[in-house]
Amino acid sequence: MVAADNILQVDTLIMHDKATIRFSSTRQGVLNAKTAYIGKKCIISARGLDGANGSTNVAGQNGEVGGNLSLQLHFEQLGSLTIDVRGGKGGKGANGKHGRPGIPDRHETKIKRDANGKVTRFEEFVPGILGTNGTDATMGGNGGDGGNTMLMYSTNGFIANFNRDIHSNNINILYNAGESGWPGTPGKGGFMSVDGILIPSEYRSGRDGNVQLINLNEPQL
C-alpha cells in the first residue's frame, strides 16, 4: 500500500514475481522510478472497490470509481505488468421473500347417513386460507467509472508490448467501468395475495477511463 499522499518516488523499483503495489482510488496516484525491474505477473492497482450487496429495501451500493494514475518508469527489465484502474462492480440487489403459501378454496366429499342408515355423498365447499404477500426486491448498484492512466516510459533496448497475450515485455492496462450489480428477484405472493415488486433506483452506465502512453525513447515533437 502506498502511503496516504498516494505518491511513490524511488530511484530503483524492484517488483518480484506476483508483487502488487496498491494506490488509493480516491485521489491522484503518482509513481516515478528512474530504474524499474519488473518480474512476471506484477500488478500496479488503483482499482475501485466493489459495492456492497443490497439488503431489505436497500439497493446494492455503487462500485467505487477507479483511481487516476500518473506513472513515469524506465524499464531495465520487464516480465509482465498489469496496470489496473477499473471501476468497482456494483453490489447485487436483494431478493424479496416469498409469502406464506396459504390454502386455495376447495371442495371436500362428505358422507351423510339418514335414520335408516342410508349413505349419501355430497360435495362441501371449504374456503381457503389467505397467503401473505411477497416482499420487494431491490436493484443492483451501478458500476464505478474507470480511471485514467498516463504512462511515460522508456526501456533498456527492448520493445514494450501493450495488451497482448504474451509472457514477456508485456504491459496490460485495464481501464473499464465496473459492471452493474444484478437486480434481486421479487418474492411470490401466496393464495389471494400479491407478488413483490422490484423497487426502482437510479441507473447510470459507467464510463471507461482513458489511457495516454508516452514513449520517452522516441524523440518528442
pLDDT of residue 115: 80
Rounded to the nearest 10°, the torsion over CA 204, 208, 209, 211 is -170
pLDDT of residue 43: 98
Nearest in space to 144 (alpha carbons), one of 210, 55, 211, 47: 47
DSSP 89-125: PPPPPPPPPPPP--B--EEEEEEEE-TT--EEEEEEE
pLDDT of residue 6: 97
Going from the first residue of the chain to its last (221 residues), give the mean pLDDT of each consecutive group of 10, the final group possibly shorter: 96 98 97 97 97 96 97 97 98 97 91 84 90 97 98 95 86 97 97 95 93 86 52
Q: How far is CA 124 from CA 33, 63, 105, 110, in A?
A: 88, 59, 11, 7
Residue 216, by phi and psi: left (phi above 0), alpha (psi -120 to 50) or beta?
A: alpha
The HSE-up count of residue 86 (CA atoms within 13 Å, CB side) is 17
| H and E: helices and strands count for the chain | 0, 14
pLDDT of residue 110: 87
